[in-house]
């Protein structure tokens, strides 16, 4: 067996063409790590930011792009007890996913449901970890409450719709086209707002009888900050996970005080192994049964081979995708 593997890096910041295929040694696991032969790897917005030079890997993380994978365990560290060679897993990684092999901490891998394809499983970790920690941990969404999701047709959005509905919440989404609105409603969204033609503040207040959204999941920022405050319910929680519309925005402190709002935010990648392991355990307990029963399924927009990674990034950056873009790395994906 060769000791080398193919991987994708972006040596210099740039567009999709900045990524290149390189040969790297197959990694060796540390005491609490596993090596996964990657069958498929999810493509995420942080990958694009890293390629552009805006989101460097945290200290100690691989410079190889990619934050989530599905594949077979091929080696285990001396202290690993959760997995054995041959197990099929989906794993969250801090980097290294766009490669034929990747290292993962044993506690950040979850058993891949037998009836889900590797492409579907590769679309789970980054997205499901993000939704769980932000909507349910930080946002404290409860059954019967209303969740407003900005970017409802994205990988995050399509996941959040399904998880919130499985949890018994009401879901409103904002999207940029009628086709995306239809896709979100098909997944279970109760209402879809086309932000290009409708005012989401007015729409949210209308469909909640003036009450507003209890939890708002926002990837936009910018001028959405003030609008989110107006759309939020009393005691509402606004969770910021990105700022594609701008890193600064005006906030009405009087409205925050009057409504007793909580505006929080988080980034997944820099969090400690322990913090991520707690999210993984919650997913095993609450979400894995939904996946195994078929109640929730990742929405796959498109797949690209590893050597088509530039096209995969271009697809995501075009903003027309619905659901996840995934790289197929091995013939088993």
pLDDT of residue 2: 73
Domain boundaries, the chain: 4-124+270-328, 128-265
The span from the CA of 67 to the CA of 282, in Å, is: 19
Nearest 5°: phi and psi at 227? -70, -35
CATH code for 4-124+270-328? 3.90.180.10
The total number of residues written for the chain in this structure: 333
Q: Counting beta carbons within 10 angstroms of the beta carbon of residue 81, is it exposed (0 to 12), middle (13 to 18) or buried (19 or more)?
A: exposed
Q: Domain 128-265 is of which CATH architecture?
A: 3-Layer(aba) Sandwich (3.40)
The span from the CA of 330 to the CA of 72, in Å, is: 11
pLDDT band at 330 (very low <50, low <70, confident <90, very high): confident
* φ/ψ bin of 79: left (φ > 0), alpha (ψ from -120 to 50), beta (otherwise): alpha
pLDDT band at 287 (very low <50, low <70, confident <90, very high): very high
Which residue, among 327, 324, 332, has the nearest Cα to 6 in the 3D structure?
327
* φ/ψ bin of 66: left (φ > 0), alpha (ψ from -120 to 50), beta (otherwise): left
> Are 35 and 101 contacting, i.e. CB atoms less than 8 angstroms apart?
yes
Q: Which residue has the higher pLDDT, 81 or 2?
A: 81
pLDDT > 70: percent of the chain: 99
Structure tokens at 21: 């295929």
Q: What Å distances lie between residue 111 and 114, 133, 156, 242, CA to CA?
A: 9, 19, 21, 29
Confidence check: pLDDT of 331 > 80: no
Specify the long-range contacts of residues 290-297, CB closer than 8 Å, at least 24 apart.
Answer: 290/162, 290/163, 290/166, 291/113, 291/116, 291/124, 292/113, 292/115, 294/115, 295/162, 295/166, 296/159, 296/162, 296/163, 296/166, 297/116, 297/120, 297/162
Q: Using one digit for the tens of pLDDT, what is the confidence trace for 110-164?
A: 999 999 999 999 999 999 999 999 999 999 999 999 999 999 999 999 999 999 9
Q: Using one digit for the tens of pLDDT, what is the confidence trace for 227-266?
A: 999 999 999 999 999 998 999 999 999 999 999 999 999 9
Summarize the confidence of residues 48-57 as an average pLDDT: 95
pLDDT of residue 333: 64
Q: Using one digit for the tens of pLDDT, what is the confidence trace for 192-222?
A: 999 999 999 999 999 999 999 999 999 999 9
Nearest 5°: phi and psi at 250? -85, 135
The span from the CA of 317 to the CA of 250, in Å, is: 27
Summarize the confidence of residues 72-89 as an average pLDDT: 98
- Mean pLDDT (the chain) is 96
Summarize the confidence of residues 300-316 as an average pLDDT: 98
Contacts of 1 (CB under 8 A, 6+ apart): none
Start-to-end C-alpha separation, the chain = 21
The span from the CA of 211 to the CA of 325, in Å, is: 36
Confidence check: pLDDT of 1 > 60: no
Summarize the confidence of residues 104-112 as an average pLDDT: 98
């Amino acid at each position: 067996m060769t000791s080398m593997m193919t991987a994708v890096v972006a040596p210099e910041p740039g567009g999709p063409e900045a990524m290149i295929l390189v040969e790297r040694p197959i990694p060796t696991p540390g005491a609490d790590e596993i090596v996964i032969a990657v069958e498929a790897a999810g493509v995420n917005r942080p990958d694009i930011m890293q390629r552009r030079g805006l989101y460097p890997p945290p200290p100690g993380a691989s410079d190889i792009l990619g934050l989530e994978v599905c594949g077979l365990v091929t080696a285990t560290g001396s202290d690993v007890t959760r997995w054995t060679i041959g197990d099929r897993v989906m794993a969250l990684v801090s980097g290294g996913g766009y490669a034929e092999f990747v290292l993962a901490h044993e506690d950040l891998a979850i058993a891949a449901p037998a009836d889900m394809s590797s492409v579907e499983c590769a679309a789970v970790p980054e997205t499901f970890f993000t939704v769980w920690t932000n909507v349910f941990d930080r946002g404290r969404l409860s059954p019967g409450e209303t969740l407003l999701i900005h970017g409802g047709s994205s990988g995050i959005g399509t996941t959040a719709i399904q998880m919130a509905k499985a949890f018994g919440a009401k879901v409103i989404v904002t999207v940029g086209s009628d086709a995306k609105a239809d896709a979100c409603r098909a997944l279970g969204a109760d209402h879809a707002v086309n932000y290009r033609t409708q005012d989401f503040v007015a729409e949210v207040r209308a469909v909640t009888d003036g009450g507003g959204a209890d939890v708002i999941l926002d990837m936009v920022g910018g001028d959405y900050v003030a609008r989110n405050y107006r759309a939020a319910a009393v005691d509402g929680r606004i969770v910021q996970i990105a700022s594609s519309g701008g890193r600064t925005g005006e906030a009405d402190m009087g409205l925050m005080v009057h409504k007793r709002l909580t505006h929080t935010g988080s980034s997944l990648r820099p969090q400690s192994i322990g913090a991520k392991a707690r999210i993984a355990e919650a997913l095993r307990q609450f979400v894995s049964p939904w996946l195994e029963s078929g109640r929730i399924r990742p929405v796959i927009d498109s797949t690209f081979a590893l050597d088509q990674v530039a096209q995969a990034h271009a697809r995501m950056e075009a903003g027309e995708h619905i659901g996840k873009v995934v790289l197929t790395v091995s013939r088993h994906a």
